[in-house]
Amino acid sequence: MREMMLIGHVLVVPYPSQGHINPLLQFAKRLAFKGVKATIATTHYTVKFICAPNIGVESISDGFDDGGFSQAKSEEVFLKSFKANGSSTLSQLILKYQNTDHPVNCVVYDSFLPWALDVAHQHSIYGAAFFTNSATVSSIFCRIHHGLFSLPLEPKNMPLCIPGGPPLEFRDLPSFLRLPESYPVYLAMKLSQFSNLEKADWVFGNTFHGLEAEVAKEICNHWPGKLIGPMVPSTYLDGRIEGDKGYGADLWNPLSEQCMKWLETKTPNSVIYVSFGSMVSLTEEQMGEIAWGLKESGFYFLWVVKEHDRIKLPKGFIELSKDEGLVITWCNQLEMLAHEAIACFVTHCGWNSTLEGLSLGVPMVGIPQWADQLTDAKFVADIWEVGVRPNEDEKGVVRKEELIKCLKVVMEGKRSQKIRMNSLIWKSKALEAIGEGGSSDKCITEFATFLSSN
CB–CB of 143/124 below 8 Å? Answer: no
- What is residue 179's three-state secondary structure? coil
Helix (H) or strand (E) holding 291: helix 284-297
The sign of the dihedral angle between the CA atoms of 151, 154, 157, 158 is positive
Residue 372 appears among annotated catalytic residues: no
Candidates 20, 44, 209, 348; catalytic one = 20
CB–CB of 75/186 below 8 Å? Answer: yes
How many angstroms separate the CA atoms of 94 and 84, rounded? 16
Q: Provide DSSP, 223-263.
A: S-EEE------GGGTT--STT--S-SB-SS---HHHHHHHH
Candidates 62, 110, 172, 244; catalytic one = 110
Residue 118 appears among annotated catalytic residues: no
Contacts of 94 (CB under 8 A, 6+ apart): 11, 104, 107, 119, 120, 123, 125
Q: Is 229 exposed, middle or buried (0-12, 13-18, 19+ CB in 10 A)?
A: buried
How many angstroms separate the CA atoms of 216 and 407, rounded? 32
Q: Provide DSSP, 355-401.
A: HHHHHHT--EEE---STTHHHHHHIIIIIS-SEE-PPP-TTS---HH
CB–CB of 222/164 below 8 Å? Answer: no
Nearest to 368 by CA among 379, 383, 384: 379
Nearest to 109 by CA among 128, 90, 96, 86: 128
How many angstroms separate the CA atoms of 316 and 328, rounded? 15
Please list, residue by residue across 374-391, b when 16 or more beta carbons sit within 10 angstroms of its beta carbon and e when fewer do. bbbbbbbbeebbbbbbbe
Contacts of 142 (CB under 8 A, 6+ apart): 194, 219, 222
Helix (H) or strand (E) holding 293: helix 284-297
Helix (H) or strand (E) holding 444: helix 439-452
What is the pairing mode between strands 37-43 and 9-13? parallel
Instruction: Count Cα neighbours of 269 within 13 Å in the Cβ-side half-sphere.
Output: 10
- Positions annotated as catalytic residues are 20, 110
